[in-house]
Amino acid sequence: MKTDLTDTTSSKINKALVLGRRAIGTPAVGMVLTLVIVTDEENAYDALKAANEASREHPSRTLVVIKRVSRSPRDRAKARLDAEVRLGADASTGETVVLRLYGEVVDHAQSVVLPLLLPDAPVVVWWPVNAPSDPANDPLGALAQRRVTDTYAAEQPIQELTARADAYTPGDTDLSWTRITPWRSMLAAALDQVVCEVTSAEVEGEEFNPSVELLAMWLADRLKVPVRRSKSAGPGLTSVRMETNAGPIVLDRPDGSLATLSIEGQPDRAVALKRRETAELIAEELRRLDPDDTYATALRFGVERLDEEAATTAPEPVAEAVTEAEAVVETAPAAKPAAKKTPAKKAAAK
């Protein structure tokens, strides 16, 4: 069931939700949380699709906040709210309200969202793109227990990690961290199988991928060893190598689907380690609504500290070698001056 409301208010949207539930025969509210998605028109469809798939595991009321850009000063002075209420088959197992904000109401989105939150239910805010630098102090982020961002969608993801660390508040999390959950589980399980001491590690992945940095910071923080990062063609994370006193431990995933775990003295094992869709990542984040202390510790380790430790443990640069041509010039004796050529005799005329 779908209901379109033009130039409406929050109270009218709540009334449409009640009437819609009665019309489809489900007057009771069976939602476990409110998921607020703050996005633009371009990314709204993909974000809502992922949220609807995640709602099969976590039935929720999904509020999609789309801030429309007003092109003229006259339009910016006017405030208007359009809404689209979806229930039943159109909203998977939950309820969906798409809010389009125009004019001055764009700067007061929290006043529109607040009356639509489920009472006595946790609130999660997700920014698929264009997340604020300090999510906890954002007007919408202040309403939530959990705030989900995605630095992979940022223009400068590595610099974004530093900003996230400076502004971290318990309850913040990032989908770039969620993407490496299977990697962390597999590496921890591999170390449980061998009694050894890790001396160094290397993380390989595509350039400008924040998951590579987060995994490297997690390893450096937990193992207290230098961790080097190297670039690959991807997709995403491709390999992790840990040097130990019992031999190397390597987790290699060149194709983004199937990985190979290699441990010294044991046969290689194939491991399912496919790249997950956004719906799976959101569903994982909704399973726990308490602060993620492990993410906070890894994030606060810092990219700069990671670079400093890698530089400290790197071998000293070797002095530039003299090229072979220069060596020949230095060691060869001075050449004798060329003898003056005698003019060739002209052939006698016949």
The answer to whether 219 touches 184, Cβ cutoff 8 Å, is no
Per-residue pLDDT of the chain (350 residues; tens, 9 = 90+): 788 888 899 899 989 888 887 887 765 567 889 999 999 999 999 999 999 999 888 888 999 999 887 776 766 667 889 999 998 776 677 789 999 999 888 889 999 999 999 888 999 999 999 999 899 999 999 999 999 999 998 888 888 888 899 999 999 999 999 999 999 999 999 998 888 899 999 999 998 889 999 999 999 999 999 999 888 887 889 999 999 988 899 999 988 889 999 998 889 999 989 999 999 999 999 998 889 999 999 998 888 887 776 655 544 433 343 344 444 334 444 444 444 444 443 333 33
Q: Which two tokens stand for residue 241?
A: 């190598």
* Helices marked H in 39-146: 41-54, 73-77, 109-113
What's the pLDDT score for residue 124? 96
Closest Cα partner for 31 from 65, 5, 75, 61? 61
- From residue 319, how far is each of 36, 322, 338 by CA, in Å? 57, 9, 37
Distance CA(158)–CA(251), nearest Å, equals 24
In 158-170, which positions are buried (b, 16+ CB within 10 angstroms) versus exposed (e)?
Answer: eebbebbbeebee
What's the pLDDT score for residue 341? 41
Amino acid identity, position 10: S
What's the pLDDT score for residue 276? 92
What's the pLDDT score for residue 2? 85
Cβ atoms < 10 Å from Cβ of 193: 11
Q: Parallel, antiparallel, or unpaired for β 172-174 and 123-126?
A: unpaired
Q: What predicted TM-score, i.e. pTM, was given to this entire model?
A: 0.82
What's the pLDDT score for residue 77? 67
What's the pLDDT score for residue 76? 64
The answer to whether 258 touches 270, Cβ cutoff 8 Å, is yes
Backbone angles phi, psi at 77, to 5 degrees: -80, -20
What's the pLDDT score for residue 335? 42
The answer to whether 147 touches 135, Cβ cutoff 8 Å, is yes
What's the pLDDT score for residue 311? 59
Cβ atoms < 10 Å from Cβ of 189: 11
